[in-house]
Amino acid sequence: MSTLRNIGYRKIIYLLVLLAAAIPTLYTIGLPVTVSQQSRDLYSFIENLPAGSNVAIQFAAYAGMYPDAQPATRAGLIHLFRRPLNIVLWHTSADGPMLLTGEMRYVNVGSRVYGKDYVFLPYVAGSEATTSATATSLRGVFKSDFYGTPIDQISLMKNIDKAEDFKAIIVMAAAGGEEEWAIRQWYIPHHVPVGAFTISITYPMLIPYWKAGSVIGMTNGVLGGAEYETLIGARGPGLRRTDVMSTVSLLYVGLIGVANFEIIRRKI
Amino acid sequence: MDYSSILGQTVTVLFVIMCYTYLIKETVLFKFVEATYVGLGVGHGLVMVVGYLTKTTLPAIQAGNLSLILPLAMGLLLFGRLKRQYRWFYMYPLALLVGAGLGLQIMGMLKASLIDQLVSTMSISLTPDITGVNSVLVLFFVVTAMTYFLFTLRGVVSGTSTKPNRVLDKLRDIGQYVLMGAIGAGFAQSFLGRLAVFMDVLERVLFFIPRLLGLM
């Protein structure tokens, strides 16, 4: 006990966490994943969208918390591009274009043609006011796409301008409440269904909205990513990382137990 | 793997290791990484915003959409905060931002965050399954958590003294546990989010050499 005290409990906990995370990272255990109703709802909604439906994606990924949303975001993009949907994506985070470029390497666009089946619009600042403006008129916010092509010259955008032109808006990797902006500015006034591939911290906030029917479904951080990978049948970082989450969480529960036992022992 | 990727990954791993020296003590290496991260973040954000202005706003003004001059000027007034004598400049755009923001929020908030959620909470499903039990529990927990904030109703007034109301006190106690549970769950979710970031960093460090050698 005195040796442990000399080293410092904190440093020992750091070492234990490092080991608990490193071992399952190197040797995959493959613990089973139960798919939540929220992830299943989101998957079913996208899966049942009629062919040719216009889907808006508000890509709100911030580099700082992106690893939490990455598995679900990638799985979501794979699913969306697998289906014959017209996708219009724009960024509400300055980090978004850089992160999306990295993600698109894992997405098979197949025979989909840029400009005809999908369009990437640039980053736009302005938080909730911008989300409201995009619902009113995309042309009012964007004059050209991400690559500088004027919107009027993009065939997909000829019949798309306002929220009513879309069958759904999907908020991806948000860490600053962008889902609530979409609910307030797209769902409430224009009745466009909102889906979310979100981070763990935002997830509990969305549960009441999901129960109330304001959100069609959402994923929960890395765990949600693993669930979505299971649903689309594409193994990725989510399923790999859930093993690490389980072992580190077990270690933490164990440490809480040990700390409580020590406190009780001292009192006796 | 091209040279830019090798350089990028090497810098990432070096920065991660330098950053984690903080676990031993606050070192110069950690401070260097901290300053670089903040500087890069601000610089990147600034370039993106200026890019949006030069690609979208300024061409639109040049094309004759003069109504955009007003928001652009209001945006510039925000920089008044940087010098004390011009600080009052930034109060006008700030007031506009807060006012417009609140106006936009309240419009959707009343329905999405209040009415719809109240209806959803009060809609009890009396079925002998987990959904039915959950719906009753949610309503009970919402009521008890709200009881915790009933500061004006402390007990039964009898003459000049107030006797404690046992039922209300019990509900308040349950409400306190409900709130603690909710805060605990929120903290756990936050922990999982940070853990995901740590896992990503760990993967980059552990698989750095195999990736460099093209084994992964």
Which residues from A are below 8 Å from B104, CB to CB? 128-129, 132, 184-185
Inter-chain CB proximity B202 and A201 less than 8 Å? no
3-state secondary structure of A56: strand
Whole-number pLDDT of residue A125:
85
Structurally, chain A folds into a number of domains equal to 1
Tell me if A4 is assigned to some domain.
Answer: no
Domain of residue A101: give its range. 34-236
Q: Which of A254, A235, A252 is nearest to A30 (CA)?
A: A235
pLDDT in tens, B172-202: 999 999 999 999 999 999 988 999 999 999 9
The pLDDT score that the predictor gives to residue B177 is 96
In a domain, A178, yes or no: yes
For chain B, what is the mean pLDDT?
Answer: 88
**How many Cβ contacts (< 8 angstroms) between chains A and B?**
139
pLDDT tens for each residue of B52-106? 888 888 888 898 888 889 989 999 999 998 888 888 889 999 999 899 889 888 8
How does pLDDT run along chain A (268 residues), one tens digit per residue? Answer: 666 676 778 888 889 999 999 999 888 888 888 999 999 999 999 999 999 999 999 999 988 899 999 999 999 999 999 999 999 999 999 889 999 999 999 999 988 999 999 999 999 988 898 999 999 999 988 888 999 899 999 999 998 999 999 999 999 998 878 999 999 999 999 999 999 999 999 999 999 999 999 999 999 999 999 999 999 998 888 988 898 999 999 999 999 999 999 899 998 8
Element (H, E) at A205: helix A203-212
Inter-chain touch A94–B190, beta carbons under 8 Å: no
B201 Cβ contact partners less than 8 Å away, ≥ 6 residues apart: A67, B16
Q: Is residue A28 part of a domain?
A: no
Q: Hey, are the CB atoms on A143 and B116 less than 8 Å from each other?
A: no
Q: How far apart are CA A108 and CA A120, in angstroms?
A: 16
Q: Residues A16, A195: contact at Cβ < 8 Å?
A: no
Cβ separation of B49 and A125 shorter than 8 Å? yes
Supply the pTM of this predicted model: 0.88
Q: Give the list of residues 6+ apart from residue A252 with CB closer than 8 angstroms, or none.
A: B191
Q: State how far residue A201 is from chain B, nearest Cα, in angstroms.
A: 5
Answer yes or no: do B196 and A213 touch at CB < 8 A.
no
Closest-CA residue to B79 (of B96, B92, B68): B92
Sequence length of chain A is: 268
Q: Mutate which of B2, B15, B52, B139 to disrupt the A interface (most A C-beta within 10 Å)?
A: B52
Please give the pLDDT value at position B156. Answer: 66
Q: List the 102-131 stretch of B: residues with Cβ below 8 A of A.
A: 104-105, 107-109, 111-113, 116-117, 119-121
Q: How far is B39 from chain A (nearest CA, A)?
A: 14
Nearest to A222 among B55, B185, B196 (CB): B196
In this prediction, residue A4 carries a pLDDT of 67
Structure confidence at residue B214 (pLDDT):
80
From chain B, the residues in CB contact with A143 under 8 A are 55-56, 59-60
- Do A200 and B189 count as a contact with CB atoms less than 8 A apart? yes
Q: Which residues of B touch A63 (CB under 8 A)?
A: 41
Asked if residue A103 is part of any domain, the answer here is yes
**∠ CA B146-A39-B196 to the nearest 5 degrees?**
85
Which of B100, B182, B195 is opposite residue A248, by nearest beta carbon? B195
Going by C-alpha positions, the residue among A116, A102, A109 that lies closest to residue A78 is A109
Contacts of A245 in chain B (CB under 8 A): 192, 195-196, 199
B192 touches chain A (CB under 8 A): yes
Which residue in B192, B202, B206 has the most chain A C-beta atoms within 10 A of its own C-beta, making it the best mutation to test that interface? B192
Shortest distance between the Cα of A132 and any Cα of chain B, in A, equals 8
Contacts of B211 in chain A (CB under 8 A): none
Yes or no, beta carbons of A188 and B111 under 8 Å apart: yes
Residue A56 CA to residue A190 CA, distance in Å, equals: 13
Choose among B52, B107, B196: nearest Cβ to A122. B52
Chain B partners within 8 Å of A214 (Cβ): 112, 116
Cα B150–Cα B155–Cα B161 angle in degrees, nearest 5: 135
Contact A94 B186 (CB under 8 A): no
Cβ neighbours for A172, distance < 8 A, ≥ 6 positions apart: A57, A58, A59, A60, A61, A69, A73, A76, A77, A196, A197
Residue in chain B lying closest to A244 (CA): B199
Give pLDDT, residue B153: 67
Note whether ipTM > 0.90 here.
no
Read off the DSSP letter of residue A34. Answer: P
CA-based nearest distance B173→chain A, Å: 23
Residue A21 lies in a domain: no
- H-only helix segments in A104-236: 127-136, 138-141, 178-182, 188-190, 203-212, 221-232
CATH number of the domain residue A68 falls in? 3.40.50
Q: How far is A157 from A144, CA to CA, in rounded Å?
A: 11
DSSP assigned state of A184: I
Residue indicated by tokens 């969305």 = A206
Q: Are A220 and A197 in contact (CB under 8 A)?
A: no
Residue B166: pLDDT band with limits 50, 70, 90: confident
Residue B155 pLDDT > 80: no
* Contact residues, chain B, for A129 at CB < 8 Å: 100-101, 104
